[in-house]
Amino acid sequence: MPLPTLSIVTPSYNQAKYLDETIRSVLCQRDQVHEYFVIDGGSTDESASVIQKYASQIDHWVSEKDKGQSDAIQKGFSRATGDILYWLNSDDVLLPGALAKVRQAFADHPRWDVLTGYGCWIDADSRITKVFRMGRESARLARGGCMHVCQQTCFFKREIYERVGGLNLDLHCIMDVELWARMFEAGAVWGLVPQYLAGFRRHDLAKGSAWSKEYADEHVWAVEHYPGYWDGGSRSMRLLHMMDQLLTGRRLRAWLDGRRWIGQKITDVLGEWNVDLG
């Protein structure tokens, strides 16, 4: 059986400082990518120059004003023809070898609609600050307040994305977790790749740091529309999740990995992003 094809979108806006690493983390695995789109929202920094450097290996890119991150992602997905969809924000990174593991996992488990994997947090200098190993997501846990989907490690079939109606373009901060909620509600089957797949960068200019009011407002909206997911949930579900993390050893192994890796460059620990520009 042939491996499923993969389409990746990078939404970008004024993240030139990190964009080069983001793009290289995709292009070092270009043989695994059916289509790669970079959708820039008309950045006023050097982002366009960074993108042009790699333009020969990007299937489509644009730098023009848009309606925000959700709009940029949807612009890319509307062009996508791959079986699997994924977006990588312009300050986050994929890990070498991640995409081959993802494609093989979907091929080995054709019932899976969505999958996640393990990941790291990194800082502005690409040094690891946190390591996490979460288990397989489930609707039961999510509805009990235990949804731990890391967007940077989340890949999904184009069919489930289209079936649930795609991203909510009115949301600018929680559009990812609101999408996961609709996938849970639609009965999506979630899988797990028990490997490190991506790095989530946290820095002072990141949206999560700079948009606190917007996040708070959208959180209120989410609690109203999806009770159980964001309102604290069930104490028994939280205990069940904690016990699962302990009994499977995921929490301990993440702690041990963190002891070895925190403070080091992610590329020194988990591999370089080598790209041949020809």
Structure-block tokens of residue 65:
């004003």
Pick the closest to residue 118 from 89, 84, 152, 145 (CA basis).
152
Q: Find out whether 115 and 155 touch, Cβ atoms under 8 Å.
A: yes
Taking the C-alpha atoms of residue 179 and residue 215, their distance in angstroms, rounded to an integer, is: 15
247-263 exposure pattern, b = at least 16 Cβ within 10 A, e = fewer: eeebbeebeebbeebee
Q: Find out whether 123 and 203 touch, Cβ atoms under 8 Å.
A: yes
pTM of the model: 0.94
Q: Tell whether 276 is covered by a domain.
A: no
Q: What is the pLDDT of residues 52-76, one digit of tens each?
A: 999 999 999 999 999 899 999 999 9
Q: Find out whether 63 and 47 touch, Cβ atoms under 8 Å.
A: yes
User: Does residue 65 or residue 234 have the better pLDDT?
Assistant: 65
Taking the C-alpha atoms of residue 172 and residue 216, their distance in angstroms, rounded to an integer, is: 12
Q: Tell whether 278 is covered by a domain.
A: no
Residue 19: give its domain's CATH number: 3.90.550.10
For residue 117, the enclosing domain spans 6-270
Domain count, the chain: 1
Q: Tell whether 79 is covered by a domain.
A: yes
Taking the C-alpha atoms of residue 269 and residue 20, their distance in angstroms, rounded to an integer, is: 19
Q: Tell whether 37 is covered by a domain.
A: yes
Taking the C-alpha atoms of residue 176 and residue 198, their distance in angstroms, rounded to an integer, is: 16
The per-residue pLDDT for 160 is 98
For the chain, counts of helices (H) and of strands (E): 12, 9
Q: Tell whether 277 is covered by a domain.
A: no
Q: What is the pLDDT of residues 168-214, one digit of tens each?
A: 999 889 999 999 999 999 999 999 999 999 999 997 766 555 567 88
Pick the closest to residue 153 from 113, 118, 179, 203 (CA basis).
118
Count other Cβ atoms within 10 Å, centred on residue 134.
Answer: 22
